[in-house]
Structure 1
């Protein structure tokens, strides 16, 4: 029988498992029935707890209880893993029931979640709506808050490590690389633990890791679930690591109102990311269908927070398309939690050691040499000390022609970088849909050919974000889209606008927020 499963290392895969009806009895209590998944760290079985007469998931760890020092270390990690998860009783954190030693190996007995992984669900039915994604994000955020309160980090939040119960609620699984917050880093020589495209920048660069790192991974997960693609996935491992550490995320327009939250969670610096409370209130508003998500900073008074499970129910009821294309309930393919190596036990108070990834990457991608070498030769790592950069946020209106980018004083030779932050607009509020900084797609733009004399830049689509430097001799119009960097060839004010001539903007609506950075050369 061929079925979709989640591997014992948390990755979704399709595989054929012949070992059904094993009949093995573990610890005189757990009868193994059939295999649910396999991976490098273990095999997960569907089993029957004969003492309590209930179905369970049993993870058979590929670690002998008798062996050398390496085996003993891995065994200790497995025990700490089970303890870490078991002490977090939460409806959106998978439950750990028992930890037993049998047949010279260790077995972890867990809650059996009868539902697909989030990765499998979106692969089968397509991306979720922003409301549905926000509702599930609320549940995962609450789960992470509980995990962090217990002094534990998850370290591998991704769609494959989220299971969906039959009622649609999310369950955070696979604490295989979770680490107690004691300064330890769980890798073995030549091995980088975790999924690269969902790994926070500070993990990639060997900086301090904390709860904000899990929030970054949550942001990448939400972007993938709603946008349909990972914002940092690249063809090669080293390119993916480089993108996580230094590049802006690739976020599609379909994120809608979820975009500001995702962008805030994916900020490179942990200190610039919103708190869990701030993200919670923003996701709560999106899940409720509110237009204004409010600030992403934590409120003075925490106040009452509605159940995240209720938010999922509301979002699913309000938009059936977020379930399956046919409007059917979420599939009930049977999957279960899969765990990886555990965290270390808390130790006595001592200074925290810097966490370094360089040695861990040596056997896989040689990240330190590859990334820093690439940065050196592209001139990104070593900048001229004399350079100064000014950055400001500019709101560009669709109802006005060219608008000056306030505070952006430009001189010849300066490097100008424009980044779309948030917002939507339209060139015809009665007939045309809203769009973002990239403007309309080719088909939609073609439908406006009758009004093409309204375009500021004929070769670019209606609605795309444009920029120009008035002081330049020929005043070229640049197509900005989501991001643009160019050199100023003259002095003068920087102007931004929509690709729709001022004479045609009376039926427009909407605004975009754009980050403007000007680097002055020495």
Structure 2
């Protein structure tokens, strides 16, 4: 947090002189990347804020990446001269630390203001929103994204004006990717869905964060905050915002800003017009149009509830067009790259239904949501699964064994038994679906909630993303790996392949927990049936000792169907 109000007494570093110029006084605030001090510029005789970054100026590659990000913070802010963007005066290195010297804003943060005095009126919120929108437009025009817009990063000057601060995780558009694979950088409850899904973000992502900030400031609570981190992440990606009545005329504005798809959100110009009307006291604010009209088509959905209390789920879901409500049954949830220990997923009980076609890459933000609906299919692939198959077996092998070993008569007998079982109230198949980011710079990554039991049907499906096995020399590629020409360029490193028969960069999967579990190439999708228990694992086709120069990640859905 960067606040103009001291939140702790001066400590032992108070009185230290930095770079023979800046005399430190008391601590103003602490954040993820640094500590902010009130200081005195002895050369120009003025009060300043000195941000001591929590990174050394030397060290390993991780330190150097964080240092470059810190330098970018200063450059990003310094090149945006705007009355509502904090001013940067200097960037100095002192005693192995980097310091950013900024203007001192003599006032509290917007978060502190709301915490002490309560929510603001819609008119006052709209006025501040206009100022922050102007700051963001200037930031975006300079080719910069803020990426962490929230009440704690907005300071209030004595005249009440807002100042956008803390560009600590800002990213410039010059092509260098600075965040490590799978890392969610920013405050999750103010993070746009596309960023939470590790997909491409842009100015519309900052506008989404502005919308969440305005709701918090005027409504008194964050629209997506939940008791636990996984629940908050799920709410950001899938749930509709919780919007209190006190928003009044501001409601249509924030509803438009908080639409899930970037193209569905309004332009900054349309938002400015609407905020001006609210700030002027008007109350008849019309819904705001989408920046891309083709991206937003209101859709309908119907759900019939199955059960009684607590964790009951729906036993029928009909989805038409784009689903706007949380998919309570068959939810697909997000797991950061690596997926160890913190994974979570949605589980549902459903009858069989057809699998929707995978959406185009241009709408890839919606893919995990549609994957949650897709897992309602029990007979994925037209009956490819056999109980006595190897732990993972491909489609062709499964079909051949089905023809040889089961036969039509036994298949019909099973169908009759299933029909009779449903009439008697037999439990329906349980489907668990998890979407996970698979990092290129890690080895086998378990999908913790994709726990497989003997006889379960498993489908692994690519959703989006790209990666590279050599960020300096090789292009990005998708789940099928490099084409033959590019793969031949890496013949000298054949020893690095996990699966020698497929190209570098191929998305691989296996079932951990079984001896000699086969490693299979996924491509766009692959389906199997398990003959034993285990956990699904995913990785890039590049072995453990060769991952240091990899980059990028893929988002993959894993669907496990268990028939009781």
Could you say what secondary structure the match of 2:126 adopts?
Answer: helix
Q: Which residue of 1 aligns with 2:132?
A: 140
User: What is the CA–CA distance in structure 2 between the aligned matches of 1:137 and 1:364, rounded to whole Å?
Assistant: 39
User: What is the CA–CA distance in structure 2 between the aligned matches of 1:249 and 1:33, rounded to whole Å?
Assistant: 42
Please state how far the C-alpha of 1:39 moved relative to its aligned partner: 3.5
The answer on whether the counterparts of 1:100 and 1:108 sit within 8 Å (CA) in structure 2 is yes
Q: Aligned ranges for residues 89-488 of structure 1 at < 5 Å?
A: 89-182=81-174, 185-188=177-180, 191-294=183-286, 296-297=288-289, 359-360=336-337, 362=339, 365-366=342-343, 370=344, 373-374=345-346, 377=348, 385=356
Please state how far the C-alpha of 1:297 moved relative to its aligned partner: 4.3
User: What is the CA–CA distance in structure 1 between the aligned matches of 2:84 and 2:341, rounded to whole Å?
Assistant: 33
Deviations 1:248-273 (A, max 9, x none): 11111110000000100000011111
Could you say what secondary structure the match of 1:57 adopts?
Answer: strand
The answer on whether the counterparts of 1:190 and 1:363 sit within 8 Å (CA) in structure 2 is no
Greater shift, 286-295 or 240-249, is seen at 286-295
User: What is the CA–CA distance in structure 1 between the aligned matches of 2:120 and 2:183, rounded to whole Å?
Assistant: 33
The answer to which structure, 1 or 2, has the higher relative contact order (CA under 8 A, 6+ apart) is 1
| 1:68–1:46 distance in 2 versus 1, CA, 3 Å | same
Within the alignment, does 1:68 sit opposite 2:60 as a pair? yes
The answer on whether the counterparts of 1:192 and 1:364 sit within 8 Å (CA) in structure 2 is no
Please state how far the C-alpha of 1:171 moved relative to its aligned partner: 0.4
User: What is the CA–CA distance in structure 1 between the aligned matches of 2:154 and 2:88, rounded to whole Å?
Assistant: 16
TM-score under structure 2 normalisation? 0.52
TM-score under structure 1 normalisation? 0.56
Deviations 1:386-434 (A, max 9, x none): 9xxxxxxxxxxxxxxxxxxxxxxxxxxxxxxxxxxxxxxxxxxxxxxxx
| 1:379–1:96 distance in 2 versus 1, CA, 3 Å | farther
Deviations 1:423-471 (A, max 9, x none): xxxxxxxxxxxxxxxxxxxxxxxxxxxxxxxxxxxxxxxxxxxxxxxxx
User: What is the CA–CA distance in structure 2 between the aligned matches of 1:185 and 1:379, rounded to whole Å?
Assistant: 41
Deviations 1:41-69 (A, max 9, x none): 22211111111111000011122222222
User: What is the CA–CA distance in structure 2 between the aligned matches of 1:127 and 1:74, rounded to whole Å?
Assistant: 36
| 1:25–1:385 distance in 2 versus 1, CA, 3 Å | closer
Could you say what secondary structure the match of 2:92 adopts?
Answer: strand
The answer on whether the counterparts of 1:191 and 1:363 sit within 8 Å (CA) in structure 2 is no
User: What is the CA–CA distance in structure 2 between the aligned matches of 1:181 and 1:61, rounded to whole Å?
Assistant: 23
User: What is the CA–CA distance in structure 2 between the aligned matches of 1:379 and 1:117, rounded to whole Å?
Assistant: 48
User: What is the CA–CA distance in structure 1 between the aligned matches of 2:114 and 2:93, rounded to whole Å?
Assistant: 37
Greater shift, 189-198 or 156-165, is seen at 189-198
Please state how far the C-alpha of 1:37 moved relative to its aligned partner: 1.8
User: What is the CA–CA distance in structure 1 between the aligned matches of 2:349 and 2:210, rounded to whole Å?
Assistant: 31
Please state how far the C-alpha of 1:221 moved relative to its aligned partner: 0.5
The answer on whether the counterparts of 1:153 and 1:180 sit within 8 Å (CA) in structure 2 is yes
User: What is the CA–CA distance in structure 1 between the aligned matches of 2:289 and 2:192, rounded to whole Å?
Assistant: 20
User: What is the CA–CA distance in structure 1 between the aligned matches of 2:239 and 2:207, rounded to whole Å?
Assistant: 18
Q: Which residue of 2 aligns with 1:84?
A: 76
Please state how far the C-alpha of 1:25 moved relative to its aligned partner: 1.4
| 1:58–1:192 distance in 2 versus 1, CA, 3 Å | same
Where does structure 1 lack aligned partners over 5 or more consecutive residues? 1-5, 300-356, 387-522
Deviations 1:323-360 (A, max 9, x none): xxxxxxxxxxxxxxxxxxxxxxxxxxxxxxxxxx9655
The answer on whether the counterparts of 1:186 and 1:193 sit within 8 Å (CA) in structure 2 is no
Deviations 1:487-518 (A, max 9, x none): xxxxxxxxxxxxxxxxxxxxxxxxxxxxxxxx
Q: Which residue of 2 aligns with 1:32?
A: 24
| 1:361–1:42 distance in 2 versus 1, CA, 3 Å | farther
Please state how far the C-alpha of 1:214 moved relative to its aligned partner: 0.5
Q: How many residues align?
A: 314
The answer on whether the counterparts of 2:147 and 2:205 sit within 8 Å (CA) in structure 1 is yes
The answer on whether the counterparts of 1:44 and 1:59 sit within 8 Å (CA) in structure 2 is yes
Greater shift, 98-107 or 64-73, is seen at 64-73
User: What is the CA–CA distance in structure 1 between the aligned matches of 2:145 and 2:341, rounded to whole Å?
Assistant: 24
| 1:293–1:21 distance in 2 versus 1, CA, 3 Å | same
The answer on whether the counterparts of 1:27 and 1:102 sit within 8 Å (CA) in structure 2 is yes
